[in-house]
Amino acid sequence: MTFQSTLEEIYAEVRPMSGEGEVADYIPALAQIDSTKFGIAIETIEGECFQVGDAAERFSIQSIGKVFNLALCVGIAGDRVWDRVGMEPSGNPFNSLVQLEVEGGIPRNPFINAGALVVADTLLDHLDNPNEDLLDFVQKLRGSDVHFNQKVVNSEKQHGHINTALLHFMKAHGNLNHEVDDVLDAYYHQCSIEMGCAGLARSFLFLANGGVVPGTGARVLAASQAKRVNAVMLTCGFYDQAGMFAYLVGLPGKSGVGGGIVAVIPGKLAIAVWSPKLNSHGNSVLGIKVLELFTTRTGMSIF
């Protein structure tokens, strides 16, 4: 089946909405991105690739990296990951301090900032070089080189006061094993991975394929672990808009404040969209619309 004409149609239809939303500017390095960028890519587990617009241009994947972080951690620590972080939707902004206080320093899920910080802390228990190991892991998923953007890492380190506060808060509650600065370094590297839509879709194919990277056949997660990562993406992948995304799109996925969204159709494909302008929940305006139209037109969703 070819998706090229469907992508081109949707791209043309959605492009006029590009005035809506705002680029994330709380991380200054992200505010400099050209807000008119717009790309879509599909990669299938059979190895087909379809793309339109700026699909090859690399962008900061931000919170989408939380999925790589979690997958690497689940592969190493198994179910022990869940001793220190929950698996329920937060219904709160991604950097909420309030919820963390009410819930005694245990983050609701691994895809809000507090949760991803705990996962990064868990990885530090097991890895001597967490940044290189994460990069190797993502390169294995993608099948080619992946880079951190050091400018984004530095910008986040200078301006990420809320993340620092989340970590100190969890440290006070006994839910942090390592030094705050070491965990921040690992977390900001994870957020600053750069990829284009096509590379991003390719690197998520293992979640469409029961934990195995199509093409190389490398098993990254057990089938049941891949199923669980997909389940957490479905329920928690879109901050406090996860319910709306499931309603409109009907796929497990993850967004980032760089304007990327990637979603998975188990057994078939991964699709990634990039458009930097975000709605008030931190999700790409055009990204959600593209995915809503894609699953509606093709009839392909998990429901």
- Where on the chain is the footprint of ligand GLU (CB under 6 A)? 62-63, 94-95, 113, 156, 160, 163, 191, 256-257, 282
Give, in order, the Cα–Cα distances in Å from 187 to each of 134, 135, 217, 240, 292.
11, 13, 28, 21, 30
Provide the minimum distance between the beta carbon of 224 and ligand GLU in the complex, in angstroms, as a whole number: 27
Q: Please answer whether residues 284 and 259 qualify as being in contact, where contact means their C-beta atoms are separated by less than 8 angstroms.
A: yes
Give, in order, the Cα–Cα distances in Å from 78 to each of 57, 81, 214.
34, 6, 22
Query: First vs last Cα of the chain: how many Å apart?
Result: 20
Q: Toward ligand GLU, which CB reaches closer, 45 or 191?
A: 191
Q: Please answer whether residues 21 and 258 qualify as being in contact, where contact means their C-beta atoms are separated by less than 8 angstroms.
A: no
| DSSP secondary structure letter of residue 219 | B
Active site residues: 63, 66, 187, 239, 257
The number of helices, as runs of H, and strands, as runs of E, in the chain is 14, 10
Nearest residue to ligand GLU, using CB?
63
Strands 147-148 and 59-60: unpaired
Provide the minimum distance between the beta carbon of 60 and ligand GLU in the complex, in angstroms, as a whole number: 8
Alpha carbon distance 111, 95 (integer Å): 10
Q: Please answer whether residues 141 and 68 qualify as being in contact, where contact means their C-beta atoms are separated by less than 8 angstroms.
A: yes
Provide the minimum distance between the beta carbon of 106 and ligand GLU in the complex, in angstroms, as a whole number: 19
State both tokens at 103: 């819930």
Enclosing H/E stretch for 234: helix 223-236
Provide the minimum distance between the beta carbon of 123 and ligand GLU in the complex, in angstroms, as a whole number: 16
Alpha carbon distance 48, 61 (integer Å): 22
Provide the minimum distance between the beta carbon of 267 and ligand GLU in the complex, in angstroms, as a whole number: 28
Q: Toward ligand GLU, which CB reaches closer, 52 or 153?
A: 153
Secondary structure (DSSP) of 236-288: HTTGGGHHHHHHHT-S-EEE-TTSEEEEEETTTEEEEEE--EE-TTS-BHHHH
State both tokens at 232: 């957490």
